[in-house]
Amino acid sequence: MGSPAPSEALLSLLRGQGPVLLLTGAGVSAESGLATFRGPSGLWEGRDPAELATPDAFAADPLGVWRFYAWRRKEAAAARPNAGHLALAALERGRDDVLLVTQNVDGLHERAGSRRIVRLHGSLFRLRCTEEGTEFEDLGSDLSPLPPRCACGALLRPGVVWFGEPLPAEGLRAAATAARRAVVVIVAGTSSLVYPAASLPVAAREAGAYVVEVNPEPTPMSSLAHERLRGPAGEILPRIVEAAGIEPARTA
């Protein structure tokens, strides 16, 4: 059985005018082989990653936290964008009113070719000085010796948003504005459990957007969506984009 076909209502909107908002979560990158850390098997060396992704954990054990993030950086650097990433990048190239808002920190959307991105949870490939607060990009896979230090001598931390920290205000404002203006919102590979990202499709629907959910399983957002396409994002997103008349890239 093939993946479900997008409706003519969705395709008509994608062929027409008006802003499009794309919201992606860990499920999109899972098809590239990256761990989602969900469920009973979602452990790293026997530890719950959620316990490592906090400011308190970093203060107590910066080396332990950095070992986890150095491993994640290495895994992300070795992964390749999948067909879902490539389809969303093709959709952006096909029109000038697409914004991609992602909860992912792996950089695969960028490597697929997406450029108009709001990274709600930051990036594994950005580092921040714990003393001066300056942040910079580092695309290398080797940060040894761990934990890495800034030129000023202070510890560096991953440029991601940890539990208990606020999301970047500028990015959140841009995402909220896009949600209010969008004519179509495609939500792919997210459990719709993490706020405030999960509130974006709600705001978009209240403003009149056509909301589409792409996910293998139902989520708390399913009842809100006008259209629910069940299956892997790597199969369904290319089908949507191709049916709308845009040919996704085949390689990254």
87: number of Cβ within 10 Å: 27
pLDDT the model gives residue 251: 54
Query: Is domain 49-78+127-160 classified as CATH 3.30.1600.10?
Result: yes
Give residue 48's pLDDT.
Answer: 80
Catalytic residue numbers, as ranges: 121
Q: How far apart are CA 90 and CA 174, in angstroms?
A: 21
CA contacts within 13 A on the Cβ side of 194:
20
pLDDT (0 to 100) of residue 4: 87
Stretches where the chain sits below pLDDT 70 are 1-2, 37-46, 141, 248-252
Interatomic CA distance for residues 117 and 129, integer angstroms:
23
Q: Which CATH superfamily is domain 8-34+80-121+167-243 in?
A: TPP-binding domain (3.40.50.1220)
> What's the pLDDT at 207?
97
**Closest listed residue to residue 96, CA positions, set 17, 23, 171, 175:** 17
Give me the torsion for CA of 84, 120, 206, 14, rounded to 10°. Answer: -30
| Cα 52 from chain centroid (whole Å) | 20
Cis peptide bond N-terminal to 145, omega within 30: yes
Q: So where are the chain's domains?
A: 8-34+80-121+167-243, 49-78+127-160
| Rounded distance between C-alpha atoms, residue 206 and residue 109, angstroms | 28
* Per-residue pLDDT, 193: 75
pLDDT score at 143: 86
